[in-house]
Amino acid sequence: MELAYYADYAVRLVNTEQPARNKDALTSVEAVRDLFGPSGQAARRATDADVTRFRSVRARLRAVFEAADAGDERLAVDRLNSLLMEFPVSPQISGHEERDADGRPDWHMHLADHPSNATAGYAAIASMGLAFHLTSYGVDRLGLCEAAPCRNAYLDTSTNRSRRYCSDRCATRANVAAYRARKRLETERAAETGRSAETAQATTPRTER
């Protein structure tokens, strides 16, 4: 499994909350376990106590995205380094059952499960994955959706660094809103122009008409 894959762990956790909408999906141990995806062994270690711990890590990961989105590279890096120091990773070379074209194990880097608790394990994986993405592609590749009030986190993997929304749905919604705003402005300007013309005509002396 490539290390870049683990960056999605950070996005997945951050997006369990939508502060502007006052919505929080991280309310039970089952929600915590769902975040691990197919990693069943790590998920089974989660307990009710991890709900609060996961929320704390979530706030710190969102703070990384917020700093990156604001263009403050140093702050984003400092916040991420703080997480990396608190939740160190245990890398391993793994091959599982995959084989390459020559029948040899498909060796790759894998982040081993943390022995402490579910939160520590998840935080270590998410932080390392995010760090790998940041150092490989740049701080400006970490973003928050511009389609208010969404503000979901995303990883920009576009070739021209042009991503601004977390999903096609938000992009469409923002484009529709922008189109409607332009139409309203055009209507208002046309109405203002019409009123100005009527006013000018009304104030023009009869002899000049």
Question: What pLDDT digit, counting tens, does each position of 56-91 carry?
Answer: 999 999 999 999 999 999 999 999 999 999 999 888
Residue closest to 139 by CA, chosen among 187, 192, 80: 80
Out of 17-21, 40-44, 67-71, 83-87, least confident range:
40-44
Containing H/E element for 26? none
Q: How confident is the model at residue 113 (pLDDT cuts 50, 70, 90)?
A: low
Amino acid 110: pLDDT: 74
Q: How confident is the model at residue 93 (pLDDT cuts 50, 70, 90)?
A: confident
Please identify which residue in the block is written with the tokens 């209507």.
187
Torsional class of 116: left (φ above 0), alpha (ψ -120 to 50), beta (otherwise)? alpha
Torsion, Cα of 12, 62, 127, 153 (10° steps): 40
Q: How confident is the model at residue 1 (pLDDT cuts 50, 70, 90)?
A: very low
Question: Structure pTM?
Answer: 0.79
